[in-house]
Amino acid sequence: MVNPLQFNGAEIARDHQGYLNDLNDWQPELALLLAKEEQLELTPAHWEVINFVRDFYLEYKTSPAIRVLVKAIGQALGPDKGNSKYLYTLFPIGPAKQATKIAGLPKPAKCI
């Protein structure tokens, strides 16, 4: 069960897996809290992916599954970053799963 998330004196609503119910509740400072739950220390490389998936969602209105995330990042940021090895190094439990959660997005439909 996911604990309620307290942020700036307000309680942020989440689903049972810890994804925000409303992506408009998200702010970069909130990402730090979400990352802490995932036991991740956010580096600029993490932020690049988090911002990428957030922009992806705002454009396509869907959270990218891993295969699509790899392809889209490859097109935008080059093959060094558009591969699952690099992304799993940053987000060991699953890049699509963890990056979308920290970015305040719904869970991808097919999520590895």
**Helix H segments across 61-109?**
66-77, 84-90, 95-102
Measured distance CA(88)–CA(94) in Å, rounded: 6
Give the Cα separation of 44 and 59 in Å (integer).
Answer: 22
Residue 66 is given by DSSP the state: H
To another protein, the closest distance from the beta carbon of 4 in angstroms equals 26
The yes or no reply on residue 36 touching another protein (CB under 8 A) is no
Contact 21, 13 (CB under 8 A): yes
Q: Which range in 6-14, 15-23, 59-67, 80-88 contacts another protein by CB under 8 A?
A: 59-67
Q: Among 17, 28, 36, 71, which residue interacts with another protein (rule: CB under 8 A)?
A: 71
Nearer to another protein, 5 or 65 (CB): 65
CB 65, min distance to another protein, A: 6
Residue 21 interacts with another protein (CB under 8 A)?
no
CA dist list (Å): 59 to 23, 44, 54, 64, 112: 13, 22, 9, 11, 22
Catalytic residue among 1, 74, 111, 112: 111
* 62 forms part of the interface with another protein (CB under 8 A): yes
Contact residues for another protein, defined by CB under 8 A = 59-62, 64-65, 67-68, 71-72, 109-110
